[in-house]
Amino acid sequence: MSDVKDYDVVIVGGGPGGLCAGLYSARANRKTVCLEKYTPGGQIAITGEVEDYLGFKKIQGAELAMKFTEHAKIFGLEIQMEEVQEVYVEGDYRFARCASGNVYRGKAIIVSTGGSPVFLGVPGEKEYSGKGVSYCAICDGAFFRGQVIAVVGGGDAAVEEGTYLTKFASKVYIIHRRDKLRAQKIIQQRAFDNDKVEFIWDTVVESINGNSKQVTDLSLKNVKTGEKSTLEVGAVFPYIGFHPNSNIFKDEIKTDAGGYIITDQRMETSIKGIFACGDVRSQLVRQITNAVGDGTTAAVAAEKHIEELEDKLKQRI
Ligand code: NAP
């Protein structure tokens, strides 16, 4: 028999969007819980420096995550370490069922589950995960001090984290499948200006190779010429995008072709009383700033939903 815990608002995921939604809901005197399977902060907790969040010229991602968490807690947001496996509706209430067996019941649910790294899907990637294949520069970069490191991708994450890795590496190769980067110009320029960064254009990784202990080299292919080559590296960090963590819904929820949750302007999903914010939501930009904005809107809209629901429940008495 599972333990059902009652709240007004249940927030699934503790990234910037979820924490900001939590701050607003708790501040509106709603009993609010945020369920997070790791430590709160989401991707920013494992990001090096953040320099594009208004009011903070430069701050470590982990420190910003801590500030967000502390701030939301001041207003009474409860944070529980839980892995949510399923979100569903029963009657007037919304439920989040967790791996622990606990079930959280809310009058509204705000989903802020972000995304997970996309895997390259090449031979050796799984085998050498934790032995030179990593998806978190800030967590693992220091293990490869003085070594040659490769980063794969051409977006903000690849170029920014590739530049960050020069703190440790003797050299960083950024391998990109095209000859033009997707990353913001300021992030690109920093990498171009860094002597330790070298780009390998129009190239894909065909396999990650190594010995019994660690990655030793990558098999590469130039997609324009077909030429194959080997690059000796001690580690490889694939940063080829994120896919949304939107597979926790029991009932059908509308998503776009990429699996990102479609919401209206109020951040409400196709299921009434379930809201979504941050990187899991279908939108053009995925930044801390708009995750926080989404969280604000979701919390205010959830409050309106709860007020309507409470009126409806009163009329039934
Ligand atoms: P992204 O913007 O989707 O970029 C993914 C990159 O990986 C693209 O360059 C893509 O190549 C490449 N790629 C995709 N699949 C590949 C494959 N199978 N093999 C090789 N390369 C592949 O992802 P992201 O960089 O992780 O960023 C995700 C979101 O977070 C973005 O909205 C980004 O703006 C945001 N973000 C912002 C910051 C910041 O502002 N400081 C930092 C990190 C992330 P193509 O270009 O050819 O498609």
Q: Which of 192, 218, 238 is the last residue of a domain?
A: 238
In this predicted model, what pLDDT tens digit does every residue of 167-195 receive, in sequence order? 999 999 999 999 999 999 999 999 999 99
Alpha-carbon dihedral sign for residues 23, 29, 35, 38: positive
Domain assignment present for 182 = yes
* Structural domain includes residue 173: yes
How many domains does the structure of the chain reveal? 2
* Whether residues 182 and 86 fall in one domain: no
Domain span holding position 104: 4-117+242-316
Give catalytic status of residue 34 as yes or no.
no
Q: Is residue 131 part of a domain?
A: no
Query: Does residue 9 sit in the same domain as residue 104?
Result: yes
Question: Quick one: 246 and 229 in the same domain?
Answer: no
> pLDDT by residue (tens digit) across 123-163?
999 999 989 999 999 889 999 999 999 999 999 999 999 99
Q: What is the pLDDT of residue 30?
A: 98
110 and 143 fall within a common domain: no
Ligand 1 atom 41: the closest Cα is on which residue? 156
pLDDT at 316: 84
Active-site hit among 6, 139, 179, 256? 139
Q: Which residues line ligand 1 (CB under 6 A)?
A: 52, 152-158, 160, 177-178, 182, 204, 239-242, 286-287
Q: How confident is the model at residue 2 (pLDDT cuts 50, 70, 90)?
A: low
CATH classification of the domain holding 173 = 3.50.50.60
pLDDT in tens, 231-279: 999 999 999 998 999 999 988 899 999 999 999 999 999 999 999 999 9
